[in-house]
Amino acid sequence: MVIMDSPRCFFQRVLYTNVSIHWIADHVDTESGCIIVKDKFIPLSTHTVQCVLGIPSSGRKNEWTDADTGRQAFLDKIGKSCLLSITSFGDSLLQDQSMSDEDVIRNFVVVALGTFLCPNLTEFPSSEYLIPLVDAVKCRQWNWCEFVHQWFMMQIRKYSDLKKKAEHCFYWGWRLFVFVMCEWSSLIC
């Protein structure tokens, strides 16, 4: 694994180059939503996300178009004027023993989304997924599989666009998800 820190890169984090993950991403057909190699394919769908991760696949449609409103409602709920880093949410989980159940759920989901399921370009949670976390007890009622799948495919499209521009820099967050899906698929095939 090679660590790169280049101002030419589209993303702002320290970037990792991994030949096998790039190879997989190069074989994703964004139109069909499949990894295609020769005559075999692995579907990348909301159903696949649900099978691999076990997160909710039914429920409220993810119509989170007003991220700024969700961000402000989230900030009001946690009693802050600005968004905390993902690390701060994780630290709170480890250190604050008096946290309410709702706060535990909220902090855990922020860390899970920001580091594994839907990583973004900064150290802060994306405003795109904060609306369901305002009422953390009901966050299970949202269709997270659909959201994670859409986020993943968006990252693959960004990678493809960067590749066309001959800039192979890409941040690592979605890579673990690809690896898990490929490993899972090899077990059931």
Dist CA 154 CA 33 (whole Å) = 11
Read off the pLDDT of residues 90-135 as tens digits, 9 standing for 90 and up. Answer: 999 999 788 999 999 999 999 999 888 888 778 899 888 898 899 8
Average pLDDT over residues 62-72: 76
Task: Judge if pTM exceeds 0.75.
Answer: no
Average pLDDT over residues 141-146: 88
pLDDT tier at 17 (50, 70, 90 boundaries)? very low
Dist CA 87 CA 29 (whole Å) = 34
Map residue 148 onto helix, strand or coil: helix
What confidence score (pLDDT) does residue 175 get? 57
Torsion angle of C-alpha atoms 32, 189, 151, 60, degrees rounded to 10:
100
